[in-house]
Amino acid sequence: MKPGAAAAGGDAAAGLISSPNWITSRLDDLVNWSRANSLWPMPFFPACCAIEFMATAASRYDISRFGMERLGYTPRQADVLICAGRVPFKLAPMLRRIWDQMPQPKWCISVGACASSGGIFDTYAMVQGIDAIIPVDVYIPGCPPRPEGILYGIMLLQKKIKGESILDPTLRVEQLPDERGMFLRPAAVDEQSEPFGNSVHQTRSA
């Protein structure tokens, strides 16, 4: 962006250029700048990481500095789904329904270890990472992540948005699940939830 600089007199064209009322920019920059700085989050808070997000939204860390202070529990009026907490299988269809209701352009932030990978809940009841349910743009690690971590995740998402182009037709295409109702191949879902950590000694057949 180049704001019109004051010129020391001259002809009509020079007068136009020197006016402070116009700028030159790429349209992508303008659109992305607007989108990145007016993200409307849809809070999906099934568990304790939500407490850290509340701290992030409150005055000390002040999420409104990023144009995100409107936390609306209305997926149809939201840009970014923030999932903070473990998602049990029983809740999976609700998460998918909320994601489906959000209009394009939309993004998703997965806050914390459980939303990103199942965390310590490597059990029969828990989704091992919400990317098996909906596409995720930014994963924030931590159990729970501190507000600084959540803010860093938001800034990473802004950085990602600022790299998009409105001429790229693939970006805004709604990603549809396959005939099984899934985004990932079954083998990928199985592979990314391979056991590790505390429960490594228990096999599926035990």
Partner 1 sequence: MNGASPNPSAAALQARFGAAIVGVSVSCGDTIVVVARERAHEILRWLKETPGEAYDYLVDVTAVEYRDRERPLEVVYQLWSLPRRVFLRLKVELPKQEPLAVDSVVDLWRGADWLEREVYDMFGVAFRGHPDLRRILMWDGYAEGHPLRKDFPLRGRFSRAEQVRQALTKTPEAHHSVEELAVAEAFQQLSDDARQKFERAGGAGGA
State in angstroms the smallest separation of the CB of 155 from partner 1. Answer: 31
Beta-strand runs (E) in the chain: 2-3, 23-24, 41-44, 80-84, 107-111, 138-140
Separation between Cα atoms, residue 96 and residue 78, nearest integer Å: 15
Looking up tokens 């228990």 gives: 202
Cβ closer to partner 1: 117 or 158?
Answer: 117
Read off the DSSP letter of residue 183.
Answer: S
Separation between Cα atoms, residue 1 and residue 22, nearest integer Å: 10
State in angstroms the smallest separation of the CB of 196 from partner 1. Answer: 12
Binding site for partner 1 (CB under 8 A): 89-90, 92-94, 96-97, 122-125, 127-128, 132-133, 177, 180-182, 185-187, 189-190, 193, 195, 199, 202-206
State in angstroms the smallest separation of the CB of 111 from partner 1. Answer: 20
Cβ closer to partner 1: 59 or 203?
Answer: 203
Cβ closer to partner 1: 60 or 204?
Answer: 204
Cβ closer to partner 1: 167 or 206?
Answer: 206
Looking up tokens 């993004």 gives: 107
